[in-house]
């Protein structure tokens, strides 16, 4: 890691906090999208089983 006194302007505390909040919000969005994908795979496996079952289903006597 380079040292901070490299001539670059340092971010203020407020800017750093806002950047952290932005990252948090972005992480939450990512989490919901991935959770949606996981739920889709769960539902897809049940639908697959259901459709295969329907085509072969014999009513119980």
Partner 1 sequence: MSTPAVEVGHYQEHHQSFFERWFMSTNHKDIGTLYLCFSFLMLFVGGSFAMLIRAELFEPGMQLMQPYFFNELTAMHGLVMIFGVIMPAFVGLANWMIPMQIGAPDMALPRLNNLSFWLLPFAFILLLSTFFMPGGAPAAGWTMYPPLVLQGGESIAFLIFSIHLLGISSVLGSINIIATILNMRAPGVDLMKMSMFCWSWLITSFLVIAVMPVLSGAVTMVLFDRFFGTNFFNAAAGGDPVMYQHVFWFFGHPEVYIMILPAFGIISEIVPTFARKPLFGYRAMVYAIACIAFLSFLVWSHHMFTVGLPLGAEVFFMYATMLIAVPTGVKIFNWVTTMWKGSLSFETPMLWAIGFIVLFSIGGFSGVMMALVPADFQYYGTYFIVAHFHYVLVGGALFSIIGATYYWLPKWSGHMYSGFWSKLHFWSSVISVNVLFFPQQFLGFAGMPRRIPDYNVAFANWNMVSSIGGFWFGATQLIFVGVVIHCVFFSRAKASSRVWEHAYGLEWTLPSPAPHHSFTVPPVVDDSQLVQTGATAH
Asked if residue 13 binds partner 1 (CB under 8 A), the reply is yes
Token digits of residue 44: 């897809």
How far is the CA of 9 from the CAs of 6, 12, 16, 20, in angstroms?
9, 9, 13, 18
Residue 59 CA to residue 53 CA, distance in Å, equals: 11
- Map residues 16-35 to x or -, x wherever contact with partner 1 holds by CB under 8 A: xx-xx--xx-xxx-xx--xx
Interface with partner 1 by CB under 8 A: which residues? 1-4, 6, 10-13, 16-17, 19-20, 23-24, 26-28, 30-31, 34-35, 37-39, 41-46, 48-49, 52-53, 56-58, 60
């Amino acid at each position: 890691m380079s040292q901070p006194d490299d001539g670059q302007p340092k971010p203020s505390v407020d800017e750093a906090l806002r950047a952290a909040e932005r990252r948090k919000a972005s992480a939450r969005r990512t989490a919901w999208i991935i959770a949606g994908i996981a739920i889709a795979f769960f539902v897809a496996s049940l639908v697959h089983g259901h459709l295969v079952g329907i085509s072969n289903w014999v009513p119980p006597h």
